[in-house]
Structure 1
Amino acid sequence: MGEKHRVRFEPVGIDIDADEDETVLDAAFRHGVMLMHGCKEGQCGSCKSFMLSGDEGIEYELDRYSTFALPDYEKEQGMSLLCRAHAYDDLEVELLNYDEDMLRSGIPIQEFSTEVVANEPVTHDMRRLVLRLVDPPEIAFLAGQYVDIFVPGTGGHRAFSMANSPNDEDKHLEFVIKIYPDGFFSRFLDRQVSAGDRLTIKGPYGMCTMRDNPDKDVIFVGGGAGMAPLLSLIRSMAARGVERPATFYYGARTADDLCYRDEMHTMSERIPGFRFVEALSEPADGGSWDGPVGLISDVVDVNEDDLSGTDAYICGPPPMVEATVPVLVRHGVPEERIFYDKFTLTGSGDEEGGSDAA
C-alpha cells in the first residue's frame, strides 16, 4: 500500500482518504461514498469531475483513458476522471454529476468468493447464472446494482447486474447473461463454467436503483439481458410490499428471445396494478404472436399517454436506451427521474451490465 492523502468532494463537503495505489473512485467506494460512475475504466466519462486543487502529473496522475471520455481541451481546463486518478497529495474535487439520494447510501465495495450453483439457458443465447456466496457469506446490495465477475487465471472481469432481490433469504446471486460467440466472458461461461466451480466477484456497483417516491407510478423498459436489473427491482418491490402502480415493457426480436414470462405475467398477484407488456420487433411470418410488434420504444410511445411524475428505469442495449429516453420525456417523465443502465459491448465482444449508468 502507498501513502494516503485526503480528498475532499465539493459541493457536498465529504472527506475521504485515498491510497496512492488506488483510484480516487475506488477510494470513495471503499468509504461507502457512491459517486456517479459507469465503466470504471476511463471509457465513458460518467465520473468526470473538476480538480479544484492539484496539478496533473504532480499532485495526482491519471491511468490510461479514452480521449472520448476526457478530451484534451477538458483536461487542460482541469477536468479529470476519478476512475483513473491517483492522489499523490491532498486534493479538492468538484463533483459535476452526482445524485444526493445515492451519495451517502453507498455500500463499501468488497471481494467475495462464490460457488456456482447453476449455469442454465433461459433462451437460445442467454444464461441464468446462480452463485452461492462463500466468503464472506453475505453481500449487501441495492436492487438494480451489479458486480464484476472475474475469469480465473486471467485477471479479466465483466460487469453483470443481479436479477434477484436483496431480500432473498438464500443469499444466492442470480444473473441473466447474454452469450456472444466471440465474447471473452461468453466463451468462458458457455464452455467452462459448471456447478461447484469457484468464482470471485467484486461489488456492488451501480446507480440504477429504486428511488424513494412512494406516491408516483413506475415504468420499466428493458431489452435483452437488461431483464436482469429490472427483475431485481420488480422482485424487490414485491418482497417489500411496495404497491406503486408499475408497468414493465420488455422488447425482444423473436419469441425465442423472451424469458421469465410466467413470473412476470403473474407479478400482478404480488404488486397491485402491475402490468407486463411484451413486444417483438421481428415476429416470425405466419407465427402465432398476437402481441405488440415493433421496437419497444415505439410500443411505449403508442401505449402510453400522460406520464407526468412517473419514475422510469431503462436497462438494455444503448440504442434502445437512447431511443426510449426522449419518448418518456415527451410523455411527461421528468428527465431527472429517468434512471438507466446501458448494456454496452466491450472490446472483446461481451455485453456488460451497469457499464454506463445514470
Structure 2
Amino acid sequence: MGTIVITVGAISGITGVLAFLLTLAKNTIGNYGEVIININDDEDYVVDGGDTLLSSLISQKIFIPSACGGKGSCGYCKVKITEGGGPVLPTELGYLTPEDMKENVRLSCQVKVKENIKIEIPEELFSVREYEGKVSKIIDLTPTIKHLTFDIKEGSIDFKPGQYVQLRAPKYKGSDEEVYRAYSIASSPMLKNKLKLIIGYVPEGIATTYVHHHLNENDEVLFNGPYGDFYYQNTDREMVMVAIGTGMAPILSILYHMVENNIDRKATFYFGARYIEDLFFVEELKEIEQKLPNFKFVPTLSRAKKKDGWTGDIGRVTDAIDKYMENGENKEVYLCGSPRMIDSTVETLKEKGIPENLIFYDKFE
C-alpha cells in the first residue's frame, strides 16, 4: 500500500513540475512583450508579441484577405515585410513566387510577430470594415447549399459585383476556435443594407458546420470586407461566365448589377451541377434572360439520371463550352469554382483563343 502511495505521489509531483515548466515557458520564452507593427511607413500599432501577423492585424481592425482563415492553405494573406518577420518558413514556400521572395512578400498567417516589424499593404485594405449583421432569412437551395440573408445593423456596405467577405464562425459545441472564412457576395451592389451569401456544406468544415448546423434566423453574425480583385469589368467585350455549385454567388451579383444598370452585353452563363437536385436559382436566371435579351443561361448536368427526365445539356461545363462557343474572339471570362474546374476550364478557353489576361477567376476549396 505504501508503495502505491509513493508512486502516486511521485507521479503527481512530476505532473506538477511539468505544469510549472510549461507555464514558465509560456510566460518567459513565449512572452515577447509589446511590439510595434508599422504599416506603409505611416501608422504604428502596438500589439502583444507572439501571435501571427494576420491575427495581430485583426486585433487592430485591419483585415487582410484570408480565404482559409489563417491555416496557411490559400496563399491569399500576402503582405510585404520590409523589416522584421524572421526567415521564410517551409509552410510558406508553396505559395510564394520567385518575385514574392525577391520583394520580401510573406504569408501573414505564418509570420509570428516576435519583434518590431514593418509591412506594406494596399491602401484599399484600410477601407475594409467589420460589420455586425442579423440573419433575416435562411433558405435551403439544395440538401447541401444554403442561401443566407443578413441585415446590416449599422451603416452600409459598398462593394464591386464579384467581390467577397469573410464571415466569422464563433466557438460552438464541437469547435473550440474562432475562424473567418471567405464567401462570395451573392447580392446586388445596390442592396447596401443587406448581404446575401450562398454557402455549401463541407464535412468537418468549421465554418460550414457552423452555418449549416448552428446558425439560425435572428442570430447575430460578424463579417468583414469587401475583398478581391475578381469583379465585373466595364468593357464592351462579350462575357463568358462559368461556375459550379456555390460558385454561382459572384456571377449572380454581376448579373444583378447588369440588370439594374441596363447593361445588355452579350453574355452566356455556363453552370455545372451533378444531379438535377443540385440545380438552383434556375427560374430566377430564366427571368434574367427576359430582362437581358443578350444573356443566355446554360445549365449542364454531369450525372443526369434518366428518371429525372432532364432534357438539357449533359456533361461538364467544358463540354458545354466546346459545344456552344465557336471561338474566343473579343470575349472575357469570369470563372468561379474549385481549382480543378478552374484549371480545366482555363485550358479549354485558351484553346478557343481567349488570352489568359482576359480570364478572371476566383478559386475556392
- Smaller-chain TM-score bracket: 0.7 to 0.9
Q: What's the Cα RMSD here?
A: 3.4
Cα distance in 2 between the residues matched to 1:343 and 1:287: 29
The answer on 1:310 being equivalent to 2:331 is yes
For the 8 Å contact 1:145–1:209, the answer to whether it is kept is yes
Match of 1:239 in 2: 260
Q: 1:311: how far off?
A: 1.3
User: Cα 1:183–1:50, aligned 2, differ >3 Å: closer, same or farther?
Assistant: closer
Q: Give the fraction of aligned pairs with identical amino acids, expressed as a percent.
A: 27
What is the TM-score when the length of structure 1 is the normalising length? Answer: 0.77
Match of 2:186 in 1: 163
The answer on 1:279 being equivalent to 2:297 is no
Cα distance in 1 between the residues matched to 2:74 and 2:161: 23
Letter in 1 for 2:291: R
Match of 2:231 in 1: 209
Cα distance in 1 between the residues matched to 2:275 and 2:321: 18
Match of 1:260 in 2: 281
Match of 1:88 in 2: 116
For the 8 Å contact 1:250–1:296, the answer to whether it is kept is yes
Gaps of at least 5 residues in structure 2 are: 1-33, 48-52, 172-176
The answer on 1:299 being equivalent to 2:299 is no
User: Cα 1:113–1:23, aligned 2, differ >3 Å: closer, same or farther?
Assistant: same
SS in 1 for 2:178: coil
For the 8 Å contact 2:54–2:77, the answer to whether it is kept is no
Q: 1:184: how far off?
A: 1.7
Alignment match of 1:149 (pick from 167, 174, 182): 167
Q: 1:327: how far off?
A: 1.1
Q: 1:302: how far off?
A: 2.1
Q: 1:23: how far off?
A: 5.0
Match of 2:141 in 1: 122
Match of 1:334 in 2: 355
Letter in 1 for 2:215: V
For the 8 Å contact 1:307–1:331, the answer to whether it is kept is yes
Structure with the greater alpha carbon radius of gyration = 2
Match of 1:3 in 2: 36
Cα distance in 1 between the residues matched to 2:298 and 2:210: 33
Higher relative contact order (CA 8 A, sep 6+): 1
SS in 2 for 1:187: helix
Number of equivalenced pairs: 317
Letter in 1 for 2:116: Y
The answer on 1:194 being equivalent to 2:227 is no
SS in 2 for 1:234: helix
Q: Which moved more, 1:188-197 or 1:177-186?
A: 177-186
Q: Which structure features the higher share of helix residues?
A: 2
CA displacement 1:258-293 (0-9 Å, x = unmatched) = 000001112122223000000000000343111111
CA displacement 1:238-271 (0-9 Å, x = unmatched) = 1122121111000000100000000111212222
Match of 1:174 in 2: 196
SS in 1 for 2:151: strand
Cα distance in 2 between the residues matched to 1:69 and 1:262: 40
Cα distance in 2 between the residues matched to 1:79 and 1:40: 22
Cα distance in 1 between the residues matched to 2:351 and 2:188: 31
Letter in 1 for 2:202: Y
For the 8 Å contact 1:48–1:79, the answer to whether it is kept is no
For the 8 Å contact 1:18–1:24, the answer to whether it is kept is no
